[in-house]
Amino acid sequence: MENSMLYNIALTLIPGVGDILGKKLISLCGSAEAIFREPRRHLKKLPRIGDLLSKAVGNKEILAKAEEEMKFLERYAISALFFLDPSYPQRLRQCIDSPVLLYYKGSAGLNPEKTVGIVGTRNATEYGKSVVRRLVCDLARQNILVVSGLAYGIDSCSHKAALDYGLETVGVLGHGLDRIYPLANKSLAEKMLEQGGLISDFLHGTKPDRENFPRRNRIIAGLSDALVVVEAAYKGGALITADIANSYNREVFAVPGRIGDIYSEGCHNLIRTNRAALVQEALDIEYMMGWKKERERPRMEQRKIFLEMSPEEEKIVGLMNEKGSLGIDEISKQCEMPMNKVSSALLNLEFEGIVKCLPGKIYNLL
């Protein structure tokens, strides 16, 4: 196991091999260790990267640096999560550019039932902080995992609110786990280790340089079922995270502010361009995510009697009546029906006012 982890780490150290290419190489060779043990003449035949890769696997400095990282992980009881490990975040694994390797320290599991990412400006106002606390307080009934970036402002407020309301919270770092940035959040980070955790895809010794944070943001987006932006300027890291979340088909929400406020411009633009749904309270998120049962579901049973439905439609309605909100892929799988039949049946059910399509191709019974 230690030997395989050594090569997993070493793979991430090869210049020119990013997360996407690294996973492709593993699929070709079978494992990271197999890549390093592959004859160099075979590696040279790989298109585009053959020469670079063949030189790298013979570079002893790469394995020496990987050994140094393993000693650091062992010393500080940090887990290295390979993308094929069962403990690796399943939500993140679905993303094409998910990290080959994650470094994690904490008590929270990374595959909870529900996760919400909350991001925003470092220059949070009292309005923004109060919105965060109210959202987290009300979402506590869903027992969510709160994910954010441990930065000043909205991020820190999100983590603190989660701790205060008994929720686990994970901070995604834009540097190695050998430091905390900003340093003022050190005591907060220590509490999070007991009620959540800290995660990064950077080696120890990596500084919190500006170019690291877009990489950090993609992990926040990938870990989240829903991403909420609370206060953001017209440009900034929170909007980058929102765009990444949209590319991952995650649900994105934005909290409106006062017209003219500089730290509401980003949220307003997300809403105006249909890149985020407007959210004023936790109920908005719960409804859009299908996290609350429809109160009038029994009335649906009465309506079914008076409607003529095809066998496919009856099967879908029966499934949704039992399971609640479902995505179109899950409906197709559970009903063992091809996607074209499911789409046609759902369209008819929408016309009849039996189901409603929510963002993300999630369907609810009305």
SS (H, E, C) 283-307: HHHHHHHCCCCCCCHHHHHHHHHCC
Nearest one of 293, 351, 299 to 322, comparing CA atoms = 293
Mean pLDDT, rounded, for 46-70: 80
User: Average of pLDDT values for 59-74?
Assistant: 93
Alpha carbon of 83 to those of 99, 171, 357: distances in Å? 7, 19, 33
Yes or no: say if 266 and 233 are a contact pair by the CB < 8 Å rule. Answer: yes
Q: Which residues pair with 230 in a beta bridge?
A: 255
So what's the pLDDT on residue 307? 58
pLDDT band of residue 192 (cuts 50, 70, 90) is very high
What pLDDT sits at residue 218? 97
Q: Which amino acid would we find at residue 360?
A: G
Q: Is the pLDDT of residue 298 over 60?
A: no
Contact 198, 150 (CB under 8 A): yes
Region 135-152 average pLDDT: 96
The half-sphere exposure of 169 on its side-chain side, counting CA atoms within 13 A, is 28
Strand order across the beta sheet in which 326-327 lies = 326-327, 362-365, 355-358
What is the structure's pLDDT at 187? Answer: 97
Rounded to an integer, the average pLDDT of 98-119 is 97
296 — pLDDT class (breaks 50, 70, 90): very low
Higher pLDDT, 366 or 47: 366
Q: Give which of 327, 316, 315, 312 is closest to 363, Cα–Cα.
A: 327
SS3 45: coil
pLDDT per residue as tens digits for the range 322-354: 777 788 888 988 898 888 888 888 888 887 778
Q: Specify the pLDDT at position 268.
A: 97
pLDDT band at 28 (very low <50, low <70, confident <90, very high): confident
More confident site: 67 or 336: 67
Residue with tokens 């008819």: 348
Tens-digit pLDDT profile for residues 244-282: 999 999 999 999 999 999 999 999 999 999 999 999 999
Confidence grade of residue 205 (pLDDT, cut at 50, 70, 90): very high
Share of the chain above pLDDT 90, in %: 64
Instruction: State the chain's mean pLDDT as an integer.
Output: 89
Half-sphere CA count of 342, side-chain side, radius 13 A: 20
Higher-scoring residue by pLDDT: 49, 258:
258
Q: How far apart are CA 51 and CA 45, in angstroms?
A: 8
**Distance (Å, whole) CA 81 – CA 48:** 28
